[in-house]
Amino acid sequence: MNKILSDLGNIGIIPVVKIEDAGKAVPLAKALRDGGLPCAEITFRTSQAEQAIRNITSEFPDMLVGAGTVITTEQVDKAVSAGARFIVSPGLNPKVVQYCLDRNITVIPGCSTPSDIEVAIELGLDTVKFFPAEAMGGVKTIKALSAPYGNVKFIPTGGVNEKNLNDYLGCPGVLACGGSWMVSESLINAGDFDKITELTKNAIKTMLGLRLAHIGINCENKDQAAGISKLFSIITGNEINHGTASNFVGSSIEVLKFRGLGKNGHIAIGTNCIERAVSYFNALGFSMDMESAAKDAKGNLRVIYFEQEIGGFAVHLVQTDRG
């Protein structure tokens, strides 16, 4: 998988934009960036698509902008010339796909059947758009297709919204989701960019599921930890679960038997997807302590600390179950 696809996976949501007025492209892009999504797929369903892409990439060269509904090689040339970094098609046209591959252009064709997927694999692709997602059976179909095609990643688009977003992203075969609920035509035409930012923030909140997992308290030794654990047990009414390095009082208070990271201790923030959360916070200007990263037996990231302390506490992200 190339870097552009990897970046799309870390972003998680690809706003699919139909724009009638290229003059609204830059404020739209700013609204998405302010909301936490530095990405957009501008569809070639209007005559303004090429100029919209050019406007956005000129103003925000670091934004990951692609062209959607691309069905001809001429459109590929126009999109790439305007600054598009990836091409998305509603179906799989071998001529268009090969044209992109020959020019090292990332292309994501639409596939909805095993035959489509096998053509994509034969062309050398490992990521396809699953379209129209809901009409073709949604999550259930993706899971069925992932069984024989385990090395293929899907980007479901069509009917994806804030209510079913995490159902899709919870599928191991799904790389990211395309959606337009935060960038509807009516909002763009009305110039309601504040609402677009609000909906984008809500989409990020839904996707990441950020929540307080637990608070960790540093102690000098196991005896001090035992005393503090007992007091919190009395106050909260929760039992103490004794461990080698720390005690948990219920699930939300961890009392360490030594002085761990942070002046006072640490705060753990749970998330549905730690890789996407890292990407999100990096975009906001936070830095991660890569040496603190802990992975599971399969090599999946489970825990990572921020470099910054907040209020005397070290802060780390932790992968938790969705919900």
Structure tokens at 131: 């379209």
Q: For the segment 141-180, what is each residue's pLDDT rounded down to a tens digit?
A: 999 999 999 999 999 999 999 999 999 999 999 999 999 9
Residues 41, 50, 153, 222: which is the catalytic one? Answer: 41
Residue type at 230? K
3-state secondary structure of 56: helix
In the structure, what pLDDT confidence band is assigned to residue 321 with cuts at 50, 70 and 90?
confident
Q: Give the CATH architecture of domain 211-319.
A: Roll (3.10)
Supply the pTM of this predicted model. 0.91
Tell me which CATH code domain 3-207 carries: 3.20.20.70
Beta carbons of 153 and 173 less than 8 angstroms apart? yes
Structure tokens at 47: 């005559």
pLDDT at 22: 98
d(CA 19, CA 188): 7
Per the annotation, the verdict on 163 as an active-site residue is no
Burial of 50: CB neighbours in 10 Å, binned 0-12, 13-18, 19+: buried
In the structure, what pLDDT confidence band is assigned to residue 5 with cuts at 50, 70 and 90?
very high
- Helix 49-59 to helix 73-82 angle (10° resolution) is 30
CA dihedral 200, 213, 10, 18 (to 10 degrees): -10
Identify the DSSP state of 157.
B
Per the annotation, the verdict on 129 as an active-site residue is yes
pLDDT at 323: 45
Residue spans per domain, the chain: 3-207, 211-319
pLDDT at 127: 98
Structure tokens at 181: 């609920």
Q: What is the distance, to the nearest Å, from the Cα of residue 170 to the centroid of all Cα atoms in its chain?
A: 11
**Could you tell me what percent of the chain has a pLDDT over 90?**
97
Mean pLDDT throughout 278-298?
Answer: 93
Structure tokens at 190: 């009305």
> Length of the chain in residues, anyone?
323
Neighbours of 290 (CB within 10 A): 10
Q: Is the pLDDT of residue 279 over 90?
A: yes
pLDDT at 322: 57
Q: What Rg, from alpha-carbon coordinates, does the chain have?
A: 23
| C-alpha closest to that of 90 among 116, 64, 57 | 116
Q: What is the DSSP string of 1-49?
A: --HHHHHHHHH-EEEEE--S-GGGHHHHHHHHHHHT--EEEEETTSTTH
Q: What is the DSSP string of 233-251?
A: HHHH-PPEEE-SSEEEETT
pLDDT at 180: 97
Residues 129, 153, 222, 257: which is the catalytic one? Answer: 129
* Mean pLDDT computed over every residue of the chain: 96
Beta carbons of 40 and 63 less than 8 angstroms apart? yes
pLDDT at 275: 94
Q: Is the pLDDT of residue 246 over 90?
A: yes
